[in-house]
Structure 1
């Protein structure tokens, strides 16, 4: 919610200081609980008298509990600092708004409940003075000058109110981030945040890519559409680049696409959709230092697809839906540094397909299924890296004399996400080593 002039003038910011002190006490108490738990639970049960699988399981969960007590302390103290900074900053900015209003009123400008200033200095004149003013040759100029200055006060007040709102949004971002745990430490995603940042200037910064903001959600998106259109192209061979040649022709009735995302803290939602109607064909081939490939395909009819994804930290789920009506045929093969692919298909009629899966820490497993109404056959294998750097292994086969379909599965590996997960895991191992060292030290 965007703050307005009335919100800023009426806000009572004093409770922020009291709440900050309460969070500080809570953080200190969590630290005491961590110490007591390690001393009276972990150390006592780890004296060597209890062994076996049950002991190992208990110690595993006890370590996670001790970690969460420490993370709770960090999170609570970070929130206490953020609230203290928020009280200081919002109080300063609120005072700046009130000082502007007071200065305007001292100069005979009245500010209404929406922050709009109006000059009222002439209202205090006597009837005779008002009569003389209205008949003054400079009266229009004087009134214009008063309105211009009033607008200046209005603009300055609006700017000061906006500064308060921006600071308020910064506080919200910082608090959301401080209470969002996306690491695998302790009990995993969703626990207390052991990395909570308590500096408002750092934690409250906007994301590098910001779009439209709606109640904490940051949205980004784009869309495009074209058609009808007809065109052809052909290139090659290019021995320097290793291309044997490529050719393409299309007669589009229309094509359209859109994609977007919503982000709120560790939660991210993404979606993309495309639609095409017309006829198109292509033929490519090449041999380079990265491998060899060849593709040929043709489509006459219409096709549409939609895909979406939801991520919470290292855990994500995805889904895709595709449909086609018309006739298509294709063959492809390739091998190189980015993987291998091979397949062929021929179909006439209508078909629709769904696929979905889940990935954790960058490694995903999913399945695909298609239903066909019309004759066709398909076989394919993909093992390689896509344009986003994700490796994918996806075999699929299908056949339909009249009614039928295709089934397949896929395994994906995102090296970037795997590296991030490994980093979190390494941090967790380091923390565990610290707990062991603390426990050994406490024995002596």
Structure 2
């Protein structure tokens, strides 16, 4: 639970010293118990008069018990030290908050129970002074200046309260770690913690962010929306070469997530997307980059997931898609970014998978689909995506009731090809240099 301003200024931290003293005495007592147990139990039974398997089992258990007494001493003394550090740090930070409030009040700012500062310097003006102030040409500016300074005090107090809360969370982490035994020594996991750390600065550190300790850097984002409906239409726009376009949708929901892990030349990336609802669109246009026309409609649900793994210039990829519903579409596009023509119609359920490999910017892959329902599809694709990667590939499919489609794809990333050629040239140059 996050501490509030009221929590901070009303907290009584004096009891931490008493509690710390009690834990220290407990730790010292556990040390005495360990000594007494080793002398009066372990030692007495190990005088040589008792032999055999039962004796061995008893001695193993006795050793574990003696170990736990020692571990209990370590844990208790660590907690005593943490509580002492906690009182010192929290008292210092609490005083910083109270000092800020005192300074604000000296400058005629009142701080309420939530830590908000308000200027009250004008409240004590006499009737004559108030009349003069209200008719002062700078009346508005003075009030605005007072509000800005009040907000400054409020922000400073909030920052100081946040520092107390951060220290409090640090103490919570340290105490939790001190009382958690995760080793197999003594009686095993769940006993007393012989590794308990009594330094608050060390024991209270936040958990490391995922990926930082081992060199992997993670990035990701996600979004979700729905339900919702909408429609829009525009055109013609001769200046932009747009003849017309229209779109309508009735979404039950959509969600998308993507992320990556990078460590030097190694990169793992993936994305997933899901949609449920109905949508339809149509567009046509002619620009100096080419001509295009398309129309499509869909009703049902669809989902997809894909991922890549790259190690320098070599990579592999895979993806999977699923759809249940009805869809139909036609498209034709020709221009500087490539050629794409196709038509499809389907009703039922379909699933598809694709896989391939990429070396130095040139990739080859295959796709396969299984259809349950009537449909047909044919397409020829040669296009460039938003990242400048060219895609080439035919695809055909037919399903009277049960069937599917197969396709092949070739990708070329000009930028990656150039980088690979450059790296290869450097390798060759370094090799020749090492010879001569």
Q: TM-score, normalised by structure 1?
A: 0.53
Distance 2:88 2:398 in 1: 82
Q: How far apart, in 2, do the equivalents of 1:401 and 1:314 lie? A: 43
Q: Report the Cα distance in structure 1 between the residues aligned to 2:358 and 2:293, rounded to whole angstroms.
A: 31
CA offsets per residue over residues 146-169 of structure 1, 9 Å max, x none? 9999xx9xx8xx99xx9xxxxxxx
Partner of 2:202: none
SS at match of 2:240: coil
User: Matches of residues 193-212 of structure 1 in structure 2 within 5 Å?
Assistant: none
Corresponding residue number in structure 1 for 2:340: 341
Alignment of 1:53-72 (within 5 A): none
Q: Are residues 1:116 and 2:85 paired?
A: yes
**Deviations for 1:210-261, whole angstroms, at most 9, x for unmatched residues?**
9964632211111111111111000001001001110000111111111111
Structure 1, gaps ≥5 residues long: 1-110, 121-140, 163-209, 439-444
Aligned residue number for residue 234 of structure 1: 233
Superimposed CA distance per residue, residues 352-384 of structure 1 (whole angstroms, 9 cap, x where no aligned partner) = 000010001111000000000011000001101
Structure 1 contact 211–220 (Cα < 8 Å) conserved: no
1:75-107 Cα shifts (integer Å, max 9, x gaps)? xxxxxxxxxxxxxxxxxxxxxxxxxxxxxxxxx
Measure how far apart 1:387 and its partner are: 1.3
The 3 A distance-change label for structure 1 pair 373 and 117 is closer
1:394 aligns with 393
SS in structure 1 at match of 2:424 = helix
Distance 1:143 1:263 in 2: 39
Alpha-carbon offset, residue 265 of structure 1: 2.3
User: Which residue is equivalent to 1:278?
Assistant: 277
What count of residue pairs does the alignment treat as equivalent? 253
Does the 8 A contact of 1:216 with 1:264 survive in 2? yes
Question: What is the aligned partner in structure 2 of residue 288 from structure 1?
Answer: 287
Instruction: Tell me how far apart the structure 1 counterparts of residues 92 and 87 of structure 2 sit (CA, whole Å).
Output: 14
Higher relative contact order at CA 8 Å, sep ≥6: structure 1 or structure 2? 1
Matches within 5 A, 1:157-236: 213=212, 215-236=214-235
**In 2 relative to 1, CA 337–142 (structure 1 residues): closer, same or farther, beyond 3 Å?**
closer
Matches within 5 A, 1:312-327: 312-327=311-326
Alignment RMSD:
3.1
Q: Name the residue aligned to 2:260.
A: 261
Aligned position for 2:376: 377
2:409 & 2:304 partners in 1: Cα distance?
Answer: 18
- Give the Å deviation of 1:116: 3.1
Residue aligned with 1:412, SS: strand
Q: Is the aligned partner of 1:310 residue 2:279?
A: no
- In the superposition, relative to structure 1, how do residues 393 and 118 fare at CA in structure 2: closer, same or farther (>3 Å)? same
Within 5 Å, which residues of 2 pair with 1:38-77?
Answer: none
The structure-2 alpha-carbon separation of the partners of 1:117 and 1:235, relative to structure 1 and needing over 3 Å to count, comes to same
Task: Give 3-state SS (helix, strand or coil) of 1:240's partner.
Answer: helix
Give 1:145 shift: 5.0
- TM-aligned CA deviation for residue 114 of structure 1: 9.0
Contact residue 321 and residue 355 of structure 1 kept, 8 A = yes
When the two structures are superposed, what TM-score results if normalisation uses the length of structure 2? Answer: 0.54
Structure-2 residue corresponding to 1:357: 356
Aligned counterparts of 1:143 and 1:233: Cα–Cα separation in 2: 57
Structure 1 ranges of 4+ moved more than 2 A: 111-120, 141-149, 210-216
Compute the displacement of 1:415 (Å). 1.2
